[in-house]
Amino acid sequence: MPNKYFKPHERFDRNPHKYDIGIFVGLKKGYEDNLFIKKLFTLREQEYADYYQYHLVYFLGKEPQGESEFFSFVWQIVIRRIRYLEIKDPFNSSHALDMELLEKLLHFQKYLRSIDQWNTQKTLPEIIADQQEEIRKQQIEIAALKDDLKAARKLETQEFINIADGYLLSFVDICLQAQEALLPDTGKELVFSQTQIVWSKMIAKYFKEGNNEISSETVRRYFPGNKKDPGIKYAKVPPELKLFKLTPAKKRS
């Protein structure tokens, strides 16, 4: 069988890439599977992904649509070597080394499973069972989403609150004052939001000005994310539209 899957050590190259397979005089025909495994045995587990990808890129350079073929080839040579080591006589002199090599192969096989897009190692019943389980999970997610949508629709309304024409910014000013209002007994904020954009979205969604829709982007200019450094896009409510003043009520005796 000709060598075609793995990048070989070029003949007489004194500075080959660390993942090239073969020896100084090149790669002997028909031995690439053995030499791929031999090189694997010298690598740390953290290198397995890089090693696989290095040779995959080489193969795809010749076979651009060959990712599945490459994976299948690597999977088969790993499986064959695992089976070979598993049936070896456990009382032979190389048993300790065999177990070490088997452990490396099993770790590499685990990596291969993590990238298997083609269910290479699964039987047809296993594939069908996986698909049915995925469908079941999706059905549960869809049911949950439907419940969430149903609950959200209960809060929706076609009605709106109308602000007098020309006085949108007067209402915005009231909202800004509400953010600064503190509770007299605790000193905590009367209202609080993690972000300012919720104010502009609320106004755009539930309010109109003179029965006309309000643009969230227009209102957003008055609610800067950073009040200490609002930026050049920030706009202040004009003094002539600041018609109301939010002040604490006097305590009743």
Higher pLDDT, 79 or 132: 79
* Whether 11 contacts 25, CB under 8 Å: yes
Q: Tens of pLDDT along 89-141?
A: 888 888 899 899 999 999 999 999 999 988 877 666 666 777 788 888 899 99
Structure confidence at residue 122 (pLDDT): 67
Q: Tens of pLDDT along 50-59?
A: 999 999 999 9
Compute the average pLDDT of residues 22-33: 73
* Cβ atoms within 10 Å, residue 168: 22
N- to C-terminal Cα distance for the chain? 100
**Domain residue limits, the chain:** 32-121, 161-241
d(CA 196, CA 185): 25
Compute the average pLDDT of residues 41-66: 95
